[in-house]
Amino acid sequence: MMFEYSALVTLIALTAILAYSFYAVLLAGQLSLAQIGLASLAAFTSALVVPAEPLFGFIPPLVIGIVFGMSVGMIAAFILGLPVIRLRGVFLAIATLAFAEMVRIFLINQTWTNGAQGMSFPKLVGPVSAWLVLILVAYWFWRLAGSRLGRAFDAIREDELAAGSMGINVARYRMASFVIAGAISGLYGVLLAYFSRFADPNGFSFVAAVDGLVTAVVGGVTLFIGPILGSVFLSVLPELQRTLGIDAGWIRPMISGVLLLVVILFLPGGLSSLIPRRKSALKLETDPALMPALAPLPERGTEIVRLQGLGKHYGGVHAVREVDLHLEAGEILGLIGPNGAGKTTLVNMVTGLIPPSSGTGTVLGNTLTVRTRAHRLAKSGVARTFQQIKLFNRLSALENVLVGGYRIGKDTLLRRLIFLPSARRHERELLAMASTQLARVGLADKAATSAGDLSYGDQRRLEIARALAAHPTLLVLDEPAAGMNHVEAAGLSELIRSLAGDGITVLVIEHNVRMMLQTCDRIIVLNFGEVIASGEPADVARNPQVLEAYLGSDADDDAPHGEQGTGRHAATTAEPEEQR
């Protein structure tokens, strides 16, 4: 009886560790099923190196196995990640599943694994060691939440594109989550083999992978403790059932199926969402003394952007052609033009989201080429808002702005693990920066509200605050006043002028012409992808060509989404239900 329970207790820990390997990728919004293959690889290869006696007389064999297994898992995950990391959603899931199956078939056909007969291992893992390892893993994930790495994962999960324009190297972080999952998978594989004293490659199958995934989902990914909850719940359930004397073979899968269905339909956050969260978790930091020391912005008049003959065409459609543009530090440049004139395409090129087809451009010292990446430009000081709002909807307003501070932040995870005070100080500085920006756009009282629940105008303002938290040199605003009334727009105009007063260079697209005339130092008018006028607001407003193309038409206060239907902008409008 005692032995039976000790096995159950150990299994709970092991299942939870497997679930953590899924948790690691789910955190970054990815679905990988490779874990079980990585675990298998780690378990069998560890048998080749783990000695029977302690190494040098004091390093226990299990420790060697764990270190080795985690390394195998990480390396294999990295190699697998190189080709598959660019896949998304179900494609990633299927590719990684294929990998796991290939590992299984490979190992079955090897003589050193005894094929399908399996291999025996010495018993090195018991309840104490399993739970000790589990606690270490859980602790690591606990400290991860709130660290820079953790926030980057949150951002990628919510919106990869917006994350990239905050300076987050999405590809690298996705790979990081993959490799972390690999390490934990390897850990799981080794622990399982040295606990059950036996392993055969067929044990690491699709069904096992699904079990791990189910445990992670039932536990939930909203809180670090989720995998443990899921594992306890799903492991104890059959025991309860046995105690109650229900013993038909089909009842167990039935109950777990029904439970899983109930959780996914009615409790999307998993069991961990039942745990009440501390409300005080994140509060505004209003102490001005805590503001971080920020690098000075470039001197007024420094060249920020220079475009020469920049063009973009999609097939035969020229969205932007031959645009020359220069922008100096502290200037506010307005970009206006009818719907479909190529404004958003132009700023997408300036912010590195799309490469130009022709011409040359330099933004903050970066040359715009096919290899330009948005996160690289963001790192050098470009921040932007989007025409179609791209907030991290499930994060609070304050958390959104904190992600924006990625550029000026430093990695804190290692310091957080040992509770170094410097990490805490650094985080409070970032919090102070974020709070200041939130207050600046007038959203201080809504800091705790989920971004998705804010009103349209507030969402636009929050995007600006998020961009400002990066301490940008160049701020690009794509239709910031859309959906705002005249009073709000006037407030926005004032905000933009004050930002320029601080030395921030602003490039703004807007249909609200009255506001643009009041706000901008210079205005460029685009029509059919070409510059038809540029100069001081008053001159532009009098230009007959402009009047005909833009002001004369009734397009000026049209709905902000009008550009969707114009074809040439097909690539610049957001698809709300992107594959995740």
Partner 1 sequence: MQQFMDGIFLGSIYALFAIGFTLVFGVLDRLNLAHAAVFSAGALIGIEGVTRLGISIWLAIPLVMIAGAVMGILIERIAFRPLGKRHDAHFGGLISSIALGTIILALLQARYGPDTRRFPPEAFPSTRFEFLGATVSLLQVVILVISVSLMLILTWVVAKSKLGRGMRTIAENPHAASVLGLNVNRITSTTFAISSALGAVAGVLFTLNVNAASLGLGHAVELKGLAVIIVGGMGSLPGALVGGLILGLAEVYAVNYVGSSWRDMVAFGLLFLILILRPQGLFGARKTREV
Stretch of residues binding partner 1 (CB under 8 A), selected from 71-79, 103-111, 175-183, 535-543: 103-111
Q: Smallest distance from the beta carbon of 113 to partner 1, in angstroms?
A: 13
**In the complex, minimum distance from the CB of residue 350 to partner 1, in angstroms, rounded to a whole number:** 13
264 contacts partner 1 (rule: CB under 8 A): yes
If binding is defined by CB under 8 A, does position 393 make contact with partner 1?
A: yes
For residue 303, the surrounding DSSP H or E stretch is: strand 303-314
Nearer to partner 1, 101 or 331 (CB): 101
Q: Looking at 68-76, 81-89, 175-183, 430-438, which segment touches partner 1 (CB under 8 A)?
A: 81-89
Question: Is there binding between residue 257 and partner 1 (CB under 8 A)?
Answer: yes
Q: What's the Cα-to-Cα distance from 175 to each of 28, 76, 83, 86, 165, rounded to whole Å?
A: 10, 12, 11, 9, 18
Helices (H), 380-485: 397-404, 413-417, 421-440, 456-468
Please give the span between the terminal C-alpha atoms of the chain, in angstroms, as a whole number.
46
* C-alpha dihedral sign at 391, 392, 397, 400: negative
Binding to partner 1 by residue 99, rule CB under 8 A?
Answer: yes
Residue 98 touching partner 1 (CB under 8 A): yes
- The neighbouring-strand residues paired with 506 are 332, 475
Dihedral sign, CA of 353, 355, 357, 360?
A: positive
Selected range binding partner 1 among 63-71, 321-329, 346-354, 526-534, rule: CB under 8 A: 346-354
| Amino acid at the residue 399 | E
Q: Does 580 help bind partner 1 (rule: CB under 8 A)? A: yes
575: contact with partner 1 by CB under 8 A: yes
Among 268, 309, 552, 565, binds partner 1 (CB under 8 A): 268
| Identity of residue 82 | L
CB 218 within 8 A of CB 212: no
Q: Position 89: which residue type?
A: G
Distance, CA of 142 to CA of 150 (rounded, Å): 10
Distance CA 257, CA 246 (A): 16
Q: Which stretch binds partner 1 (CB under 8 A): 258-266, 294-302, 333-341, 504-512?
A: 258-266
- Residue 462 CB, nearest approach to partner 1 (Å): 18
Q: In angstroms, rounded to a whole number, what is the distance separating the alpha carbons of residues 6 and 154?
A: 37
Could you say which of 97, 138, 208, 307 contacts partner 1 (CB under 8 A)? 97
Closest to 237 in 3D by CA, of 403, 8, 40: 8
The one-letter amino acid code at 349 reads: M
- The reply to whether 236 sits near partner 1 by the rule CB under 8 A is no
Which residues within the stretch 325-344 sit at the binding site for partner 1 (CB under 8 A)? Answer: none
CA distance 41 to 486: 63
Residue 427 or 478 with smaller CB distance to partner 1: 478
Give Cα 565 distance to the centre of its chain.
29
Q: Is 348 near partner 1 (CB under 8 A)?
A: yes
Spatial distance between the Cα atoms of 221 and 415, rounded to a whole number of angstroms: 23
Nearest distance in Å: CB 571, partner 1 = 6
Q: Using the rule CB under 8 A, is 91 a contact of partner 1? A: yes
Among 105, 135, 246, 559, binds partner 1 (CB under 8 A): 105
> Least distance (Å) from partner 1 to the CB of residue 317?
14
**Binding of residue 573 to partner 1 (CB under 8 A):** yes
Give the torsion sign (CA, 252, 257, 260, 263). Answer: negative
Residue 263 φ then ψ, to 5° = -65, -45
Question: Residue 559, interface with partner 1 (CB under 8 A)?
Answer: no
Give least dist CB 207 to partner 1, A.
7
**Amino acid (1-letter code) at residue 107:** L
Q: Which residues bind partner 1 (CB under 8 A)?
A: 31, 83-84, 87, 89-91, 93-95, 97-99, 101-102, 105-106, 108-109, 161, 206-207, 210, 213-214, 217, 248-254, 256-258, 260-261, 264-265, 268, 348, 353-354, 393-394, 570-575, 578-580
